[in-house]
Structure 1
């Protein structure tokens, strides 16, 4: 199931968001508790949040793999995804995003409850902006916001 948080922000194709607009973040996690936690933290930091319960739903939402429709969904400024999910991992989702001509510049953050150095390195080498350990905390959201602001300028 996809969920969308409140907010009126929207982004243009080049990810330039007008001052005052809320950045739009897609949160992908099969754990309802983790998804809601990240959603609440981001909303409290003035972000518009859309959630997906797994990577396959995120692929549908982002319209990946459909060249004629790809990128026609409302633009996202960042994608935060769990690493370990059934059906498709966060790493596989990251690879699909980085292969997309429309979405490859969108920063992707991988989160996991497991601190496995080889997994972290693999994700960063594939193009993840950050790898964060769950559960996310307010300080983590400050780091995410910094990356969002950097991408918006």
Structure 2
């Protein structure tokens, strides 16, 4: 069992989020909201952005070309549902099929409030489904989830 100081040290390492969206404005918005939402006493959030699902898979070491040892270590993935090429739903499925990444929480965001899409994503393993545009209150929920996951993994 880890001591409380080991847990605190592990949680002090900033949580890392991969934000995937084909829209530059949405990527910048997610990054700014996450980085600027740090609370007193909580760690800052590191954010890496990807403009599509294929680049996200490369970062995560889940594509055919990438080497697993160069994979980006992330605590959460936020992905747009509707993207050209590979959708956020398809990205979610690939992440959840991976033994190395299946436990990483994935949040799907979309501007479309379609119950069948929302249910499909949640059934496939999405942690949450949020509507665009993301607001500060949404990011507070994400930070709470992110910090809780980081603390649990440290124990």
Interval of TM-score (by shorter of Structure 1 and Structure 2): 0.7 to 0.9
Q: Which has the larger share of helix?
A: 2
In 2, distance between residues paired with 1:73 and 1:114? Answer: 31
CA contact (8 A) 2:58 2:66 kept: no
Equivalent position to 1:138, from 136, 140, 143: 136
* SS of residue matched to 1:106: coil
Consecutive unaligned residues in structure 1, runs of 5 or more: 1-15
- TM value normalised by structure 2: 0.83
Q: Higher relative CO (CA 8 A, sep ≥ 6), structure 1 or 2?
A: 2
- TM value normalised by structure 1: 0.84
Q: Residue 106 of structure 1 aligns with which residue?
A: 104
Q: 1:81 to 1:65 in 2, by over 3 A?
A: same
In 1, distance between residues paired with 2:66 and 2:74? Answer: 18
Q: 1:61 to 1:68 in 2, by over 3 A?
A: closer
Displacement, 1:70?
2.8
Equivalent position to 1:36, from 6, 28, 36: 28
